[in-house]
Amino acid sequence: MEKEFYVYIMASKRNGTLYIGVTSDLIQRVWQHKSDEIEGFTSRYKLHDLVYYEKHESSYTAIQREKRLKDWRRKWKLELIESLNPEWKDLYQGIV
């Protein structure tokens, strides 16, 4: 079985600060953000809500998508989140 990769977006609150990342273990990585286990941007800005994620078949496609999303205008990122998660619910409980 091949490993799956995820591109995900963490948020501080609705329309708040956003962080886009890529991982092969979504549950563990989101937990690290939620618990401020790793010092840095997400812990500094309290980015604790998983508001968007998508699955990829390879690390290459996931990294390419992450790079594209990081280059997007903020408005487009907000529209992407709201297209699948209009209430900005924390999706973490749905993946554990």
pTM of the model as a whole:
0.95
- pLDDT of the residue at 1: 55
- Per residue in 59-85, pLDDT tens? 999 999 999 999 999 999 999 999 999
- Per residue in 13-47, pLDDT tens? 999 999 999 999 999 999 999 999 888 999 999 99
Average pLDDT over residues 47-60: 97
Q: Measure the CA dihedral 16/35/65/58, to 10°.
A: -160
Three-state DSSP class for residue 82 = helix
Three-state DSSP class for residue 90 = coil
Among the listed residues 8, 55, 51, the one whose alpha carbon sits nearest the alpha carbon of residue 29: 8
Domains and CATH numbers, the chain: 5-94 (3.40.1440.10)
Task: State how far the Cα of 54 lies from the Cα of 80, in Å rounded to an integer.
Answer: 11
